[in-house]
Amino acid sequence: MLDALGDGKPRNRETTASRARGGLLVSGGFVVLLFVIEVFNMLTLHALNRTFGLRPRSADGLLDILTFPLLHANMNHLLSNALPLIVFGFLVFLSGLRVFLTALAFSWLGSGLTVWLIGDGGITVGASGLVFGLFAFLLVRGFFNHSWRQILLAVVLFMVYGSILLGVLPIMGSFVSWQAHLGGAVGGLVAALLLRPEKAKTPAP
């Protein structure tokens, strides 16, 4: 039975609505922040990229793991990431703030560490690793959670966005960091695995 609130509305519906508002606020606000940073970056002739972009296998590059997804090569680069970030971030946030932050953190770290370890050199920037991480999380979590609703959502998302998974393969152009994509996707998979519900304990005979 649903636990009703004082106004007669079911509590779980209120929770879903509040999470939806929170998801739009957080994912949309993050994208707005990226646009603010990119405008400033453009005004400084992308000096931020040279300072805070990720440089593989350098000691200083380890700190750049924390900053490189916030930067982009140009406005078109950011625009290509903006909508998927909002959509995937919103859908993940519907499962709660803790789930969202966990998926985002593992996508962020997975993407950055992979670029730092096996990047081709040069400077890497962009939030596409986060896009791949959140997408991978949404694709697999239903199987770990044994949720048909989440599996159905994964099927729909795969039909719409599945082609982007080619970005994890080293067959893309040199201007695309497949390492960031791959690392982000692996991070999303790990997050989904860690967040899976514990199996019910079998009662002792």
Rounded to the nearest angstrom, the gap between the alpha carbon of residue 178 and the centroid of all alpha carbons in its chain is: 15
CA dist 103 and 121 (Å) reads 27
List the beta bridge partners of residue 124: 54
CA dist 99 and 19 (Å) reads 12
> For this structure, is 77 an active site residue?
no
Give the start-end residues of each E strand in 129-168.
Answer: none
> For this structure, is 181 an active site residue?
yes
**Residue of 27, 95, 111, 128 marked active site:** 128
Sign of CA dihedral 77, 80, 83, 85: negative
Is residue 127 within 8 A of residue 31, CB to CB? The reply is: no
3-state secondary structure of 134: helix
Catalytic residue IDs: 128, 181
